[in-house]
């Protein structure tokens, strides 16, 4: 049994303590906003914030998360209103979107510590890979999110996504029970 705080709620996972945090939050908690890219710590798609640091959840076990405060993209803001989220939309720093949650978490962790980062500080804090190559726009988005964080600028709210995060979670088939009538028979 592993206990920690996930998106401000105390949780307990009855899983092997060596289970990667990524699999616990995606497959057991159904928080599928955190993406599984490489599983080897290279891409950053799985980044979550643990005790204020952006970490790759594929490299952390449940045992290592014990007692800590973990935030996933679903917990960054309830309504996608975090400056990083708003700025990434405003700067169109998203193409396929697969890398986006991990990048948003890395950027949010950076701005929480340093709301006016230099270009080199941004690139050092966000090592995430993006196959679509949004890097130039991402740089602008992080700069804009910094200005918003410093209250030097506001961003008009991004359009509503058209689906609630709760509904999105419910529609993920990973934990939907398979009816007996459809179960595979040898």
Q: Which residues bind ligand FES (CB under 6 A)?
A: 36-39, 41-46, 56, 58, 94-100, 130-132, 134
Q: Are strands 69-71 and 47-50 parallel, antiparallel or unpaired?
A: antiparallel
Cβ-based nearer residue to ligand FES, 58 or 89: 58
Q: What's the closest the beta carbon of residue 112 comes to ligand FES, in angstroms? A: 21
Q: What's the closest the beta carbon of residue 177 comes to ligand FES, in angstroms? A: 27
Q: What's the closest the beta carbon of residue 57 comes to ligand FES, in angstroms? A: 7
Cβ-based nearer residue to ligand FES, 132 or 172: 132
Cβ-based nearer residue to ligand FES, 43 or 111: 43
Cβ-based nearer residue to ligand FES, 15 or 39: 39
Evaluated on CA atoms 13, 58, 56, 35, the torsion sign reads negative
CA pair distance 185, 6, nearest whole angstrom: 38
């Amino acid at each position: 049994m592993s206990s920690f705080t996930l998106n401000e709620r105390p949780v307990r996972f009855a899983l092997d303590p060596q289970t990667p945090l990524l699999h616990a939050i995606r497959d057991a908690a159904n928080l599928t906003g955190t993406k599984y890219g490489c599983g080897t710590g290279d891409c950053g798609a799985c980044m979550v914030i643990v005790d204020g640091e952006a970490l790759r959840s594929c490299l952390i076990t449940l045992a290592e998360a014990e007692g800590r405060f973990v935030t996933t993209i679903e917990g960054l803001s309830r309504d996608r209103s975090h400056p990083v989220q708003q700025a990434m939309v405003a700067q169109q720093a998203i193409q396929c979107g697969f890398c986006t949650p991990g990048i948003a978490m890395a950027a949010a962790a950076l701005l929480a510590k340093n709301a006016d980062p230099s270009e080199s500080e941004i690139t050092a804090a966000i090592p995430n890979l993006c196959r679509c190559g949004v890097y130039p726009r991402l740089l602008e988005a992080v700069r804009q999110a910094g200005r918003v964080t410093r209250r030097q600028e506001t961003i008009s709210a991004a359009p509503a996504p058209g689906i609630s995060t709760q509904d999105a979670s419910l529609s993920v088939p990973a934990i939907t029970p398979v009816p007996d009538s459809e179960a595979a028979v040898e």
